[in-house]
Each structure stands twice: as C-alpha cells, then as structure tokens.
Structure 1
C-alpha cells in the first residue's frame, strides 16, 4: 500500500484538474471542491463522506465544534444546517476536498456482509456528524475513483464497484455504526430524518412537535430527545436556521425585498425577521445581502461542508 502522503498528493492533483464550479462530476455521487477563501459560510449538508486532501475546515453544528484537516474525513449522516470556515485557504494554497454522497440504496446491501465492530457500537447512534483519520485503504480507493474521471468509458462499470469499496471501508471502520444507521430502514436516524426532511421541505409552514413525532413514529418527548441528539438543536431552532439560511440565499438574488423574503420563509413580523437574521449573520438582512453580492466573485466555487 502506498504511503498516505503519496496518496494525498495524487488526490490533490486530480481535484485541481477536475474541480468545477458546481461541485458535480460526471460520476454520479462524486463531488469535488476547491476553495480559496476562509470567509465564514452557512450551508445545509446532506449525507456525505468528505475526504480533505489539502487545508482544513472548522464546523459548528449547534454548539458542537468539529475540525478536520488533510488526511482526515468528515462523515455526515443527515441533512444538517452547519456553520463553518476553511482554515488557511488562499489562491496559492486552496482547500481541496473530495465528497461522496452516502446513499441508503447502496449501503443497505453491504449490511448483510459487514460485521458489527465493537468500536462501532459506541457511535451507532447520534450525533449525525463526525471526523476520523482516513485510512490508507480508503485513500487508495478514493484515488482510483478520481482516476476514472480521465477514463469515462471505464467509469460506468468501475465507479459503482469502487463506491462499494469506499462504503465498506467506512462500515468496517471506527464510525461504521453511523454509516449502518443510514442503510437501516428502521434505525433511529432514519426516523428522525423523516422529520428533518419535512422541515426542510416545509420550513415556511407552522410546525407542531406532535405531528413531527408522529411522522417519526415516536412519542413527543422521545422525538425531541432524539432530534436534539442528532442535530444538536431543538426542532424549533432547526427550523429557524433553515428559514434564515434560505432567506439569505433569496436576498442575494432579490435586492431590496427584505420584508417580502421574510414573509416567504415564514416570518409574519418584519422586525422579528430582521432581529433573528442579524443575530445569526451579524448584520441586518439588506446590509448582509449587499455585502455578499459585492464580495461574490464570478469564479467562486461551491464547496463541501
């Protein structure tokens, strides 16, 4: 097996060549990121593996801090609103990362073969975000997946096989319990994820904990406890974060319509919208959106969490 430094060097070179502005690649589920700024960002994740090849990132989920650097991975098993910034990123030393969507349909068949590692039992439940050192085996599989970008005729056959190999490395690693939860239809994570998806899709609507608990198949008290454990937030805090992050995106595109955007995302009171927006983003809505539009460069890349 090649040394980790050699593997990371090849990953950096391939990401530099193939990274695009929209993260996507011709290989389904494979994402690439190249970032040259350390400015704070607010994003909504999805179930994802991120391998950091250069640089690093510091993330906050609620009041929990996570940090990962080159040679480490981020594992996300639910849709989560996170705050973060890249570390020491610049034009000469961009942060480079590889993402792979974690899909239940691919993970579920592997559960029939994957042993339940005692190390995984401790992480089989929440939270839905963790960091871990990348093994040489996982990095080697990542390199082989990236090489397929130069061989599209091979990718159709070989990419699904390498995806399974990467998932197998995760399932048999220290955070295998987290990955296992994604593939199990009756896991606690899958139940809470139903409520998370409802909030994401209906963030502007009134929300009742009893209805969300029923959707998750739990009592209200159990649902509240599980939801906070997974997301590090209460359902109300989660909804508010989704509303404000969506409002921020809308305001960048709709200059001057602060009250209208506030109403679209579920705020009936403009003063309350302005107050809560400023508390999260550090400036009133109009001022923050104007700053974002002025600072946005045409070549800015979207990025992984």
Structure 2
C-alpha cells in the first residue's frame, strides 16, 4: 500500500536503521559464539548419503563451520533506511509493539496485509522466517519488488467498499459469521475466499492488517481483512496468533477489530495500533467466538 502523506521525521528513520543494526550485531554475535563452540564433525560418522546432503551455506569459506556474512535482507534494509527520507506508515511507538513480539517469535510465519515503505523492515525483523505481503495495487507491487526482489508478495482483489461497512457489520453479527472454519469454506460473506491456497494453508504466527486502502468511501476498506485475520487465527490447529491492526483511529478499523478480534483478546493499544492475541478454537471445542468479558469494577 502506498504511504499516506506525512511529514518526514528523521527520528523514525534513525530508529529503524538502529533496530536493524542491533539485529545484525546480535546475529553476528550468535554466529561467532556458535562457530567457536561447535566441534568439527568427523566424516567417519557420516554416511556417503549424509555427506552429499549436508547443507553448506552459500558464500562461506570452506574452512569455517558457519557463515557469518551479513544476510542480504539486513544489508538491503540498512542501506534503504539510512538513505531514505520516506517516513514509514507507523510511528516509533507503534512499530515497537510489533517488534517486541517479533523479538520473541521470530523466525516465524508473518502475514502482512499491505506492501509499503516499511515492508523491508518487517521482513528483516523476521530474518530467517517467512514474511508474506498481501497487496491490492499491482503497479505498486511491481515498483517495490523491482527494488527489493527478495520480498514475497501476492496481488489480490477485494470486492468491498468502505461505504458498505455498516451493512457488513450487521452481516458479521449473523450466526454464519460466528462459526469458525477455513475461510474458503465459510458461509460468511465477510471471509476472503479467493486468495492463493498458501494464504489459507500456512500456520501464521503474526498477522498485520495495514491494508487495503481505507481512507475514502470508495476504497475497499479493511472489513474483510480484519474478519479473515481473526478467522485464520481461530482456525489454526493449535497455539495462538498475534494480530495487529493499524489505523484504529478510523471507524472501520476501530469497530471491526473490537467486534471480530474481540476486546477480550486485546493486549495493548499504542497510538493507532492495536495488538490482539487470539487462541486456536480448534484446540478447545466450545470456545465462544469472543471471550466473556468480566466487569473488573466489582
């Protein structure tokens, strides 16, 4: 998603560059510790088949046990953010919320609705994991991936509009939309059903909803993206999914995240970003769509 017009803030650029630099230092430190503590593997303990299939990192000298070369995603990110004057979509504090979760869970499977100026940052913070970007603007995908071909993205089409959000909210309250299933099999019209198979079959650990476009009446809006993110989280086989929704200062993002990701699952709100942790509903039969909220004033 193309960035909204904002004033350039060098502090944010410095923050992102510093975060990636810290990540790089940790990566290199771990590599050196692993390299110094590991013992050579005796070839007598390996069968011929094991020797043939043993992985050797590309570009590493034969004499080293592990490659300490800077990953391409990190070097690209450092150069990009140090030389860029573009302000990312999210503020320092908002980015920090997701970064703390990524620090604990990465490498992991990270699904991001929206391809933007901050995409390289997200992919770098999830170094070693898989970060998939879902984007509605085909021309924008071509521009971004030409510059950063290592970013993985899918072009998708939405059939909703912001002006229909009130009707879709009413629809979402129906019994069909409270049933947990694979989105492709859902009877709820809010569910996104025509995306690539990989979108549904991957167990996503983190989902970021920062697209599609939602700032004018004719835009697709994030109604279906928010609903489907919650459905993917509930329908996973086990465990839990961290879901982030940006721009909750707007009515659609505010109401749809509170209703379909549930206030009871919300962990934090910082600025325009909300963080929800949604458990698998398949792992425990009979779990309500939203947890029962307890009145803590009593």
State if a TM-score over 0.5 links the two structures: no
Q: Give the TM-score normalised by structure 1.
A: 0.27
User: If each structure's strand is expressed as a fraction of its own residues, which one has the higher value?
Assistant: 1
User: If each structure's helix is expressed as a fraction of its own residues, which one has the higher value?
Assistant: 1
Larger radius of gyration: 2
